[in-house]
């Protein structure tokens, strides 16, 4: 059994499987505050691993018992919204949850995720709202990983919606935005998988902006980090990311 501080440290280091293993076999009761804190970390670990059925159940139980005005209740409800978006692309259910969450960067992060799913459903997205959230993340200091997430995912939304008329005026600034997100990740000691992922997106954005040399260089950096991550004990889950970065490099080199 681990202390909550140990689980939080493992989460910051992106050691999600270790979080789950640390409490495996323990009968945690979500109605007990100390257990609830641990379950919240376990729920987010399952989410990061793409194990959404497990994360959704934990987040649901916690959000039903703890009020949204509490740290556990707010985080669990937000995690539940993220899980619904990732598992089912359920924009409407997430929207209902967003109305219950307090305003701020953590809620904007869910809303940006909602926008990603909207684009992938071929829905029109409000470019002004996306830019407003990005600008707020750029202005809110001191920077933390979440600022990088909003800018990174916001740039992705606009890139994927680049054929929409309302988005086209934003396209010239996308290379600068994704570079800002990478800079924030690096400055805030964000786990390397997020940095590598942002670099992969940067390569795609640079390519769309007709900056091929920059796209190749940043794709090489992305691939190098994914190779490093794949070589770790828990690295098998990054193999697909590495293959994507290598495919991007191959395409750019043709």
pLDDT at residue number 25: 82
pLDDT at residue number 26: 85
Average pLDDT for runs of 10 along the chain of length 254: 91 92 91 96 96 98 98 98 97 96 97 97 97 98 98 98 98 98 97 97 98 98 98 90 98 93
Q: Indicate the pTM of the whole model.
A: 0.94
Signed CA dihedral, 48, 49, 52, 54: sign only: negative
pLDDT at residue number 14: 87
pLDDT at residue number 233: 80
pLDDT at residue number 234: 80
pLDDT at residue number 41: 97
Per residue, the 3-state secondary structure of the chain, as one string, reads: CCCHHHHHHHHHCCCHHHHHHHCCCCCCCCCCHHHHHHHHHHHHHHHHCCCHHHHHHHHHHHHHHCCCCCHHHHHHHHHHHHHHHHHHCCHHHHHHHHCCCCCCHHHHHHHHHHHHHHHHCCCCCCHHHHHHHHHHHHHCCCCCHHHHHHHHHHHHHHHHCCCCCCCHHHHHHHHHHHHHHHHHHHHCCCCHHHHHHHHHHHHHHHHHCCCHHHHHHHHHHHHHHHHHHHCCCCHHHHHHHHHHHHHHHHHHHC
> Are 193 and 239 in contact, with CB atoms under 8 Å apart?
no
**Minimal CA–CA distance to 108: which of 68, 148, 73, 50?**
148
> Are 63 and 96 in contact, with CB atoms under 8 Å apart?
no
pLDDT at residue number 29: 96
At which residue do the structure tokens 């090489």 appear? 220
């Amino acid at each position: 059994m681990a202390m909550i501080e140990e689980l939080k440290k493992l989460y910051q280091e992106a050691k999600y499987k270790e979080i789950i293993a640390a409490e495996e076999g323990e009968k945690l009761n979500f109605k007990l505050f100390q257990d609830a804190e641990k379950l919240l970390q376990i729920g987010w670990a399952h989410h990061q691993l793409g194990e959404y059925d497990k994360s959704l159940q934990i987040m649901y139980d916690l959000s039903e018992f703890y009020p949204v005005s509490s740290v556990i209740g707010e985080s669990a409800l937000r995690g539940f919204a993220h899980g619904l978006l990732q598992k089912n692309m359920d924009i409407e259910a997430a929207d209902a949850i967003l109305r219950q969450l307090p305003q701020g960067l953590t809620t904007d992060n869910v809303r940006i995720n909602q926008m990603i799913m909207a684009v992938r459903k071929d829905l029109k997205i409000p470019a002004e709202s996306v830019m407003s959230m990005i600008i707020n993340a750029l202005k809110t200091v001191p920077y933390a990983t979440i600022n990088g997430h909003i800018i990174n995912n916001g740039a992705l939304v606009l890139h994927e919606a680049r054929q929409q008329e309302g988005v086209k005026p934003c396209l010239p600034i996308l290379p600068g935005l994704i570079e800002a997100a990478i800079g924030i990740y690096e400055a805030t000691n964000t786990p390397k998988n997020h940095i590598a992922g942002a670099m992969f997106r940067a390569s795609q954005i640079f390519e769309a902006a007709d900056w091929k040399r920059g796209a190749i260089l940043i794709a090489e950096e992305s691939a190098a980090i994914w190779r490093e991550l794949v070589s770790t004990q828990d690295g098998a889950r990054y193999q697909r990311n590495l293959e994507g970065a290598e495919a991007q490099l191959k395409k750019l080199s043709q």
